[in-house]
């Protein structure tokens, strides 16, 4: 398994999420978001124009095009949700993070409930191996988001019949999300935390590529370290190590 560890935003080849700054939207961030918005908007425009140009007459074409339009709208919706999420995290960091001892099991249950529909559709088994009293010193909402984004990816990038596991570590403050899915090539691993980065853009139509940049951003805010172990075709393991309350 190839392994890569990311701590702080100074890693080579890594494009860090938006900086903690007074004005939370920097220019490159606006440019990137606009660029990503442009494609689904252009596609929707084209689909609607084609329908108005006569494709409306044919019921089969009409249904096909409306389905495509609906997919593009979903993509826009996902993008806006992720951008707002980054904005929320950026906003939070200017204030006190409001950390507390959060039961990892609660965050795991939240993530499992949010992904169970997709997992069921793909016959993927979701498992948790977290002791009832295992805590992570973190902002509750942000820890929920980290677990959710990692579990969502694990389910998305695992084939039918696979398995996704949420575990706690041997030491305190450690979250591990693993899957036996498609895995990630060694050279790709450092890039997956970049904003809008997707390993295979053509196959990942429903994705915006922001989920892991949000995870990285939250980890940085908490001083947590992320390690990725992955093997193409065998699966991936994401390990997030949060510092304890005493190291605040
Ligand atoms: N568990 C995983 N197994 C295999 N590949 C993964 C896994 N997690 C992430 N990746 C790869 O890393 C890329 C970036 O992940 P990220 O969560 O940032 O974006 P996304 O899942 O494509 O979109 P979003 O989370 O914004 O909907 C993914 O597109 C995928 O190629
Ligand atoms: Mg994702």
What does the pLDDT look like over 174-207, one tens digit per residue?
999 999 999 999 999 999 999 889 998 766 666 7
In whole angstroms, what separates CA 86 from the centre of its chain?
Answer: 11
pLDDT of the residue at 12: 38
pLDDT of the residue at 9: 39
Which ligand is nearest to the Cα of residue 233, counting in written order? 1
Which residue numbers in the chain have pLDDT < 50?
A: 6-14, 17, 19-20, 22, 94, 247-248
Q: Which domains does the chain have, with CATH numbers?
A: 2-247 (3.30.565.10)
Say if ligand 1 is within 6 A of residue 194 CB.
no
User: Which of 38, 13, 14, 34 shows the shortest CA–CA distance to 25?
Assistant: 34
Say if ligand 1 is within 6 A of residue 198 CB.
yes
| Residue to substitute in 178, 182, 186, 211 for testing ligand 1 pocket (most ligand atoms within 8 angstroms of CB) | 211
pLDDT of the residue at 13: 40
Say if ligand 1 is within 6 A of residue 210 CB.
yes
Say if ligand 1 is within 6 A of residue 193 CB.
no
Which ligand is nearest to the Cα of residue 198, counting in written order? 1
pLDDT of the residue at 194: 92
Q: Whose CA is nearest to atom 1 of ligand 1?
A: 154
pTM of the predicted structure, to 2 decimals: 0.83
Say if ligand 1 is within 6 A of residue 184 CB.
yes
What 3-state DSSP class applies to 41? helix
User: Which of 217, 209, 224 shows the shortest CA–CA distance to 172?
Assistant: 224
Say if ligand 1 is within 6 A of residue 78 CB.
yes
pLDDT of the residue at 208: 82
């Amino acid at each position: 398994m190839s392994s890569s560890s990311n701590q702080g935003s100074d890693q080579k080849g890594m494009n860090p999420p938006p900086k903690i700054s007074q004005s939370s939207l920097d220019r490159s961030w606006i440019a990137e978001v606009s660029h990503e918005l442009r494609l689904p908007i252009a596609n929707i425009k084209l689909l609607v124009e084609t329908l108005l140009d006569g494709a409306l007459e044919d019921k089969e074409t009409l249904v096909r095009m409306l389905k495509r339009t609906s997919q593009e709208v979903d993509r826009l919706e996902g993008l806006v949700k992720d951008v707002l999420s980054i904005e929320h995290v950026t906003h939070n960091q200017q204030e006190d993070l409001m950390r507390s001892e959060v039961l990892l099991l609660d965050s795991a249950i939240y993530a499992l409930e949010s992904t169970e529909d997709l997992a069921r559709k793909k016959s993927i088994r979701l498992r948790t191996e977290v002791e009832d009293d295992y805590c992570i010193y973190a902002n509750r909402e942000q820890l929920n988001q980290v677990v959710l984004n990692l579990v969502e990816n694990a389910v998305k990038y695992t084939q039918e019949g696979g398995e996704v596991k949420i575990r706690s570590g041997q030491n305190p403050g450690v979250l591990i999300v693993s899957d036996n899915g498609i895995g990630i090539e060694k050279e790709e691993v450092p890039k997956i935390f970049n904003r809008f980065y997707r390993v295979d853009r053509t196959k990942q139509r429903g994705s915006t590529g922001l989920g892991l940049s949000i995870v990285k951003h939250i980890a940085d805010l908490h001083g947590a370290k992320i390690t990725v172990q992955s093997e193409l075709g065998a699966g991936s393991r994401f390990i997030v190590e949060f510092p304890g309350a005493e190291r605040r």
